[in-house]
Amino acid sequence: MEMTILFYVFAVLTVGSAFAVVFARSLIYSAFSLLFTFMGVAGLYVLLSADFIAVAQIMVYIGGILILLVFGVMLTRQVTDVEIRTSAFRTLPATVVVGLALGTLIVIFIRTKWMQVHTIPDIEGTTMELGELLLTTFVLPFEVAGILLLVAIMGAALIARR
């Protein structure tokens, strides 16, 4: 029962701040709302007993990507920055398409009979299983991800410098 209440708390936090990201007037407000979205998703990971992923979410998204985004906001601030709301530019077709997509997804999710193999166990730590998988079954993608990160860092430094 308390799991359900916690789920609703985190769900409202996540969805509410996601709306704030999209519709906020100023860029800084959007960035701070994104912080609460990431926190809500991390809480949902804890509810799903994925402790390692929850900590990685906080460290990578809040500690890395969000800081980077805030730097981006600060570095691209114009002097006359009032951040005018977007004009009603093809809003109607966008709303129709997006609403149809959302409706279809929700109907499919509700009507499908989802397989549920077992109940979620109490938190006992997934770090060991993940580490074993990472260095046995998924060792090649692990190395490729490392190379990707190296190339991305070098590319970012090169592009931002010129």
Partner 1 sequence: MVPIHYYLILSAVMFITGVVGVLTRRNAIIIFMCIELMLNSVNLTFVAFSAYLGNETGQMFVFFIMAVAAAEAAVGLAIVIALFRNRQTVNINDVNILRW
Interacting positions 44-103 with partner 1 (CB under 8 A): 44-45, 47-50, 52-53, 56-57, 60-61, 64-65, 68-69, 71-73, 75-76, 78, 83, 86, 89-91, 94, 98, 101-102
- Distance (Å, rounded) from C-alpha 105 to C-alpha 99? 10
Out of 9, 25, 38, 136, the only residue in the binding site for partner 1 (CB under 8 A) is: 38
Residue list 3-22, contact with partner 1 (CB under 8 A) = 3-4, 7, 11, 14-15, 18-19, 21-22
Residue 34 binds partner 1 (CB under 8 A): yes
Residue 32 binds partner 1 (CB under 8 A): no
- Distance (Å, rounded) from C-alpha 104 to C-alpha 98? 10
**Contact predicate 56/130, CB 8 Å:** no
Out of 133, 135, 139, 143, the only residue in the binding site for partner 1 (CB under 8 A) is: 133
- Distance (Å, rounded) from C-alpha 98 to C-alpha 116? 30
Helix (H) or strand (E) holding 122: none
Residue 118 C-beta: closest distance to partner 1, Å? 5
If one counts every other C-beta atom within 10 angstroms of the C-beta of residue 141, the result is: 11
Residue 47 C-beta: closest distance to partner 1, Å? 8
Residue 39 binds partner 1 (CB under 8 A): no
Residue 135 binds partner 1 (CB under 8 A): no
SS3 state of residue 79: coil
Which of these, 33, 3, 1, lies nearest to 18 by C-alpha position? Answer: 33
